[in-house]
């Protein structure tokens, strides 16, 4: 079971973390998630990905100020680096992460 404390620990312990907020009733969420996960694994060696179902973990969504789905939060070195909600492309997310990620791991 996920909770805010366990997710905060994941963010602190891993240099690159993505939180993916979705819900079972969100068709866009289900279409985007496999494409995004594949692109992340193809482009970045080290990335911890945490999926959060807002229908069962509303307190976690509220803690991270997530009010729309899908929402992607990317944390680099423990700090929120990127926040994308609703209308996003996989390429857009990858492009925004790529340069800082490469600098961190070079």
pLDDT mean over 20-27: 95
End-to-end CA, the chain: 35
Residue 81 DSSP SS3: strand
User: Average pLDDT, whole number, for the chain?
Assistant: 94
pTM given for the model: 0.93
Distance CA 8, CA 39 (A): 24
For 27-57, the pLDDT digits (tens) are: 999 999 999 999 999 999 899 999 999 999 9
DSSP E strands: which ranges in 1-106? 16-22, 48-53, 71-76, 79-85
For 61-80, the pLDDT digits (tens) are: 999 999 999 999 999 999 99
């Amino acid at each position: 079971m996920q909770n805010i404390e366990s997710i905060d620990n994941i963010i602190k312990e891993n240099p690159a973390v993505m939180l993916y907020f979705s819900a079972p009733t969100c068709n866009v969420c289900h279409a985007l998630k496999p494409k995004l996960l594949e692109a992340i694994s193809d482009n970045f060696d080290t990335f911890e990905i945490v999926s959060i179902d807002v229908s069962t973990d509303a307190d976690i969504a509220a803690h991270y100020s997530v009010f729309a789905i899908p929402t992607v939060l990317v944390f680099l070195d423990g700090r929120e680096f990127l926040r994308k909600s609703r209308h996003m492309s996989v390429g857009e997310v990858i492009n925004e992460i790529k340069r800082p990620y490469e600098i961190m791991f070079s």
